[in-house]
Amino acid sequence: MSSVVISGVGSCIPETIVRNEDFLNSEFYQENGEPFQDENSEIIRKFEKITGIKERRYAKPGQKASDLGAIAAKRAIENSGIDANDLDYIIFAHNFGDMQKDTNRIDMMPSLAARVKGQLNISNPSTSCYDIIFGCPGWVQGAIQATQMIRCGDAKHVLVIGGETLSQTVDPHDRDSMIFADGAGATIFSHSDNEKGGYIAQCSRTDASEELCYLAMGPSYKTSLNDHGGSYIKMKGRKIYEYALTNVAGAMKCAIEGAGLDLKDINKILIHQANEKMDEAILHKLFKLYGVMGDSKKLMPMTIQTLGNSSVATIPTMLDLILKGKLDDHTLESGDNVIFASVGAGMHINAMVYQMP
């Protein structure tokens, strides 16, 4: 029996480092338009304690999400050793497209996947391209779709990219803006005649009732900016935390059970890096569902401290770093079982179980 395996990985981590202290002179406002009473140093201290974020990466001026995605894709193709023209599909997961110069207006036509194809000079007309808008879980959803296409015989090689330039969509007067970062990760999924390893199972869900606008676009908290018609990322942090803690562990358990495995069989959990405390709470909830005590630091790698929340880019970037020996104390060996899991705008959750070939 054949399998679907990851044949190449790559990422693009922007060079510009923005540290927490770089926000000391920011003007932060509350949702009601009033300034905070606390000094920025105190706001930043509390932010770092809750999120774990010390610094994040921003793209260079003029660098777009599709540019970052093309760099990550090129590296994944080189890592795989396949010819780029042998790709059957390019799937680009994002939420804001490329941003128009000097504005925060979204540009998604043509698709970012097609733009990457153009940048890579792929001439094969059968390399089909499309984008996924699925919140932060977009790359995982792309991985699930790639696997399904390969398993049904529609493709042999599918490139899945997750990329964002969130620094261009945040309200600089909203303290939550410090969470978001830029970056891109790319992974090639391929048909393999080897029965060992590859995709095993997945679980997805969408809650779109009261949860629908936990993450959405909205006006600046500095009301004088709203005359320009800008729209920025807004999130209900407490609601998201409660939703994730209630539902993400269950989705991971669903995927583990679908794979016919137990939590003790899982070697690594690569979870979307949105908030260090939230991710730790989700993992402890998973331990509780299985009635065990686990070592979260050994099981769950973290990159949020230095890379921030780059949305769809976080998991493929983390996978690339691990497989290339660039993430201290974390490795993946043949036969290891990995969970990719994420939660984000929609609200969407997904989890995928994969065995290293």
Please say if the pLDDT value at position 260 is more than 80. yes
Cα angle 200, 163, 298 (rounded to 5 degrees) comes to 50
pLDDT at residue 227, rounded to an integer:
63
Q: Where does the pLDDT of residue 101 fall: very low under 50, low under 70, confident under 90, or very high at 90 and above?
A: low
Quote the tokens at residue 174.
Answer: 């909203």
CB 143 within 8 A of CB 5: no
pLDDT at residue 228, rounded to an integer:
66
Report how far residue 340's alpha carbon sits from residue 324's, in angstroms, rounded to the nearest whole number.
18
The pLDDT > 90 percentage for the chain reads: 81
Convert the pLDDT of each residue in 124-167 to its tens digit.
999 999 999 999 999 999 999 999 999 999 999 999 999 999 99
> Which among 309, 59, 16, 63 is positioned nearest to 178, based on CA atoms?
309
What is the overall mean pLDDT for the chain? 93
Residue 284 vs residue 328, higher pLDDT: 284
pLDDT at residue 282, rounded to an integer:
95
Q: Where does the pLDDT of residue 12 fall: very low under 50, low under 70, confident under 90, or very high at 90 and above?
A: very high
CB 170 within 8 A of CB 180: yes
The structural domains of the chain, ordered by start, are 3-195 (3.40.47.10), 199-355 (3.40.47.10)
Report how far residue 317's alpha carbon sits from residue 9's, in angstroms, rounded to the nearest whole number.
8
Burial class (CB in 10 A: 0-12, 13-18, 19+), 152: exposed
Q: Which residue has the tokens 């529609």?
A: 154
Which residues sit opposite 98 in a β-bridge? 107
Residue 223 vs residue 311, higher pLDDT: 311
Convert the pLDDT of each residue in 194-213 to its tens digit.
878 899 999 999 999 999 99
Alpha helices in 173-310 (DSSP H): 237-258, 276-290, 296-299, 304-307
Please say if the pLDDT value at position 99 is more than 90. no
Mean pLDDT in residue range 164-185:
94
Judged by average pLDDT, the poorest of 2-6, 80-84, 295-299 is 295-299
Q: Where does the pLDDT of residue 91 fall: very low under 50, low under 70, confident under 90, or very high at 90 and above?
A: very high
Q: Which residue has the tokens 């974390």?
A: 330
Mean pLDDT in residue range 249-261:
96
- The reported pTM is 0.93
CB 302 within 8 A of CB 273: yes
Report how far residue 93's alpha carbon sits from residue 131's, in angstroms, rounded to the nearest whole number.
6
> Which among 227, 299, 314 is positioned nearest to 265, based on CA atoms?
299
Report how far residue 258's alpha carbon sits from residue 251's, in angstroms, rounded to the nearest whole number.
10
Alpha carbon separation from 253 to 223, 258, 282, 283, 295 (Å, rounded) = 44, 8, 12, 11, 17
Q: Where does the pLDDT of residue 221 fall: very low under 50, low under 70, confident under 90, or very high at 90 and above?
A: confident
DSSP state of 180: B
Convert the pLDDT of each residue in 36-68 to its tens digit.
889 999 999 999 999 999 999 999 988 999 999
pLDDT at residue 183, rounded to an integer:
97
DSSP state of 34: P
Quote the tokens at residue 216.
Answer: 């959405």
